[in-house]
Structure 1
Amino acid sequence: VSEELEPGLHFKLPMINTVRKFDLRIQTMDSEAEGFLTENNQELVIDSFVKWRIRDIKQYIVAVAGRSDVAESRLAQQVNSSLRNEVGKRSISEVVAGDRAVIMNVVQKAIDEESSKFGVEVIDVRLKRVDYADKIRESVFLDMESERNVLVQQKESTGQKIAEEIRAKADATRVVTIADAERDSNIMRGEGDATATRIYAEAYGRDAEFYELYRSLEAYKQTFASEGDIMVIEPDSEFFKYFKQNSQ
């Protein structure tokens, strides 16, 4: 077996030399979906693929007779063995979500080291599908539903607690606001009454008779505010004092 030939003109001895062509491009090997057990002996169905290429043609011919099907068969065995080893160390959730990238990197390094022995380089290993086996799918979904229900109840409980706290604070603020408003209103009303009393007192001090006339007019206005108002009173009542004076 000679080294791979560079492009150009080469000579071949008939009946002695044989030319074989090998594809040095990156190739893809798809693995069949298989069941793998996790650390809790729960089964997952995993489907993967491998990107590989020929690294050393001499070694490739000697180890696998230059046949890609033999090379892929050995790769498939190594992938299967490495995956079983890595999945068996982890729980379902770690394999499905948490450690998926870690598993792919570990498997790639492991089989690349082994595949170099038969002249192959492993470029990449990917898990296409990681799914629950039929026999545990329903129980897993029930567990997920139960976890979600617990989470919903916790959220609702927290929300109700927060709502009650907000409502209590709002009620307390309302009571304080109303009390402050009533206090301010009473203060303003008292100040207004005091001012009115002072003004009345000053007016009375300046002209007592005019003040009495003004108060009587205000009383007449309030008493006969509507056209249908009727008041029964003695004609000589003090209430009609100024009416009598006008008639005189």
Structure 2
Amino acid sequence: MSRALAALVVVLGLGAVTLSQTLFTVDVTGQVLVVQLGRPVRPIDQPGLYTKIPFIQNVLSFDRRALTIELPGEEVILGDQRRLIVDSFTVFRITNSLQYYQSVGGTEMGIKARLSSVVSSSLRRVLGNNTLLAVLSADRTRIMATIRTQVNDEMKSFGISVDDVRIRRADLPGGNTQAILARMQSERERIARQARAEGAEAAQRIRADAEQARTILVAEANATAERLRGEGEGEATRIYNRAFGADQNFFTAWRTMQAYREALGNGSTRIILSPEADFLKFLRTPPTTETR
């Protein structure tokens, strides 16, 4: 009886071991690659319960969540020949476990070494085509998008996708900081001087245009006034002539009365004339008018 019990325990133990070597699960956060004697057999990226050949096939598990690598500070030369020390980090995911295993042996150290090299090369290449001002301005987003695209295209064959590449810190080399800041300040002052000069030139041009327009308007107004004055004087002369032709005595008397008013109107003017003077003839004899 004891032998039968022992045999049963052995059989159950072997069955349990065999079952544990046959069944395996894939978690929602992971993916696996079934390997037989070192050769990849099938990748599995859907969660669930699966089987394999016990003792012959093994299961390699890989994380399907976002992974991060950080690159230490490295010096790059920008497009304006300035030097910049850049710290960056990269976010990536394993998307194809078979390609990942075949390219770097499925080791995280291997993929990080390869990815670091690609990111470093892309950083140097893209930043080398941009100035310091572009790196420090809103163009930085465009620059990093270009780097991410280049790195992602190159790493597709390794079974990973690159979600993001970011510059965590960008510093100037210690000896160049003050000199570069001085150059940047000088450039800003030059731009400000140019803007002020352009503004002064525009103001002078506007004032000159306004003065020219004013001169033209005044000249046109004076010409119009002279024309109207001439027309008025001509019309007055025609009226006088018609009046003189209609009744010469009345016209002469009216003009003489006008002269009296202008000469004697203020009451303080003294005029010494001969009683026989023509200027006083209407004071001596009332004027007569023609009857028609």
Identity of aligned residues (%): 25
SS of the aligned residue for 2:185 comes to: helix
Structure 1's 32 and 175: CA in aligned 2 closer, same or farther, altered over 3 A? same
Structure 1's 125 and 8: CA in aligned 2 closer, same or farther, altered over 3 A? closer
- What TM-score does the superposition give when structure 1 sets the normalisation length? 0.70
Contact (CA 8 Å) 2:72, 2:87: kept in 1 or not?
Answer: yes
Q: Which residue of 2 aligns with 1:55?
A: 96
Contact (CA 8 Å) 1:47, 1:128: kept in 2 or not?
Answer: yes
Greater strand content: 2
Contact (CA 8 Å) 2:74, 2:85: kept in 1 or not?
Answer: yes
- What is the CA-CA distance between 1:231 and the residue it aligns to? 1.2
- Tell me if 1:146 matches 2:186: yes
Q: Which residue of 2 aligns with 1:104?
A: 148
Q: Which residue of 2 aligns with 1:186?
A: 226
Residues in 2 aligned to 1:108 and 1:143: alpha-carbon distance in whole angstroms: 36
**Alignment partner of 2:113 out of 62, 74, 78:** 74
Q: Which residue of 2 aligns with 1:28?
A: 67
Q: Which residue of 1 aligns with 2:166?
A: 127
Q: Which residue of 1 aligns with 2:4?
A: none
Spell out, residue by residue over 1:181-202, the C-alpha distance to the aligned partner (whole angstroms, 9 max, x if none): 3233223222222221221122
Contact (CA 8 Å) 2:147, 2:165: kept in 1 or not?
Answer: no
Q: Which residue of 2 aligns with 1:214?
A: 254
- What is the CA-CA distance between 1:171 and the residue it aligns to? 2.9
Q: Which residue of 2 aligns with 1:231?
A: 269
Structure 1 residue runs of 5 or longer lacking an equivalent are none
Structure 2 residue runs of 5 or longer lacking an equivalent are 1-34, 36-40, 287-292
SS of the aligned residue for 1:123 comes to: strand
Q: Which residue of 2 aligns with 1:159?
A: 199
For 1:44, the aligned partner's letter is: I
Spell out, residue by residue over 1:210-242, the C-alpha distance to the aligned partner (whole angstroms, 9 max, x if none): 11232233334445666xx41112474655544
Residues in 2 aligned to 1:48 and 1:10: alpha-carbon distance in whole angstroms: 36
Residues in 2 aligned to 1:205 and 1:195: alpha-carbon distance in whole angstroms: 15
- What is the CA-CA distance between 1:180 and the residue it aligns to? 3.3
Contact (CA 8 Å) 1:107, 1:125: kept in 2 or not?
Answer: no
Residues in 1 aligned to 2:217 and 2:49: alpha-carbon distance in whole angstroms: 101
- What is the CA-CA distance between 1:38 and the residue it aligns to? 1.0
Contact (CA 8 Å) 1:29, 1:72: kept in 2 or not?
Answer: no
Residues in 1 aligned to 2:231 and 2:134: alpha-carbon distance in whole angstroms: 79
Residues in 1 aligned to 2:72 and 2:230: alpha-carbon distance in whole angstroms: 90
Spell out, residue by residue over 1:86-107, the C-alpha distance to the aligned partner (whole angstroms, 9 max, x if none): 2574454497248724333223
Structure 1's 29 and 213: CA in aligned 2 closer, same or farther, altered over 3 A? same
SS of the aligned residue for 1:3 comes to: strand
Q: Which residue of 2 aligns with 1:201?
A: 241
SS of the aligned residue for 1:51 comes to: strand
Contact (CA 8 Å) 1:38, 1:87: kept in 2 or not?
Answer: no
Paired positions, count: 236
For 2:191, the aligned partner's letter is: L
Residues in 2 aligned to 1:105 and 1:142: alpha-carbon distance in whole angstroms: 35
- What TM-score does the superposition give when structure 2 sets the normalisation length? 0.62
Residues in 1 aligned to 2:83 and 2:99: alpha-carbon distance in whole angstroms: 43
Contact (CA 8 Å) 1:49, 1:128: kept in 2 or not?
Answer: no
Contact (CA 8 Å) 2:126, 2:146: kept in 1 or not?
Answer: no
For 1:175, the aligned partner's letter is: T
Aligned alpha-carbon RMSD (Å): 3.9
Q: Which residue of 1 aligns with 2:29?
A: none
